[in-house]
Amino acid sequence: MTEQLTIRRPDDWHLHLRDGAMLTGIAPQSAKHFGRAIIMPNLVPPVVRGDDARAYRERILAALPDGSRFEPLMTLYLTETTDADDVAQAAQSGLVKSVKLYPAGATTNSDSGVRDFDRVLGVLERMADVGLPLCVHGEVTDNQIDIFDREAVFIERVLDPMRRRVPGLKVIMEHLTTSDAVDYVRSAEDGLAATITTHHLIINRNHILAGGIRPHYYCLPVAKRDSHRLALRAAAISGDRRFFLGTDSAPHADAAKEAACGCAGIFTATNTMSCLAQVFEAENALDRLEAFTSLNGPAFYGLPANDDTITLIKQADPVSFPESIETGAGPVTVFDPGFPLYWDVA
């Protein structure tokens, strides 16, 4: 039985750090275990231009503990008025590692997102020219489409046509939630990859709705049937280079979650590596945890893997994690996987 596992330091290829007091409170949680993270740009106002990304990066670095080597990888928010030249310059300077596509109204702070995809075609073509990847929140926002079907419909209506129109564009489908999306990624020979969150490997829609509404399991895209969760697990543990970790750890103060119209987002930064080790051990796949967390992501982004390591140790007794993280913006509840965690980062 494996009791200790040393892997390259992991990266998080989809992370929300917010801003202000929330940023200060939660940034150290990701910096503990992760070497780098793709930082989501959906602030208010959003991170649209290179100068916005540069200023936000400085605020993140200021919020990190002394001596931290955590590296924020900046992302620009795609709007219908995004300047292609500004995007190209930010990419070529090394400041920006991706651009984020939010369909307008799809999730938290996405009102500035895209409604008419024809209007961003020129930016996507320029991104393909300079090798800058596009991160995609893959849901349609048509109210006539059931919320549990929006990812599959997005692939058919938006993503596949877009990839055919701009075939040189590298695309990351973020936070997969369906077997449809897993199958679509597997069907691509190159230029397409996907992130999978910690929580979507663990919860299904029953966790949100059965026995009462549990707001701390509510996220977007919403968790689906258990058959979809099992498809995500199979993809994550497969070692397939097209699938890698993006936690989508998304903090909201408890008061905003536990409300009549609660915010979407699950905060997993604190215990992600323990959760993942437990999941991979249950699937007899601990030998493939490193590929999922530490190798596949950098390879797709064209970056080297981290040169240092972390060690996970299996404890005799369950590891204790705080129920919430106290921040200047209010307490943030830490994800509860619903089972004991025995793996801890040394």
- The residues that bridge with 309 in the sheet, in sequence order, are 8
248 is catalytic: yes
In the sheet where 309-314 sits, what is the strand order?
A: 4-8, 309-314, 343-345
Sign of CA dihedral 272, 278, 283, 288: positive
Q: Check 248, 307, 308, 344 and give the catalytic one.
A: 248
- The residues that bridge with 171 in the sheet, in sequence order, are 134, 192
Are 163 and 187 contacting, i.e. CB atoms less than 8 angstroms apart? no
Residue 245 and residue 332: Cα distance in Å, rounded? 22
Concatenated DSSP letters of 247-288: --B----HHHHSSTTPPP-B--TTTHHHHHHHHHHHTT-GGG
Residue 87 and residue 169: Cα distance in Å, rounded? 14
Sequence-distant (6+) residues with CB within 8 A of 302 are 131
| Cα–Cα distance list, 294 to 33, 82, 159, 189, 193 (Å) | 11, 32, 27, 22, 15
Residue 154 and residue 251: Cα distance in Å, rounded? 26
Nearest 5°: the CA angle 77, 168, 240 is 85
Question: 231 is written with which tokens?
Answer: 């498809």
- The residues that bridge with 310 in the sheet, in sequence order, are 7
Concatenated DSSP letters of 304-332: PPPSSEEEEEE-SSPPP--SEE--TT--E
Sign of CA dihedral 155, 157, 159, 163: positive
Are 343 and 262 contacting, i.e. CB atoms less than 8 angstroms apart? no
Q: Which residues are catalytic?
A: 248
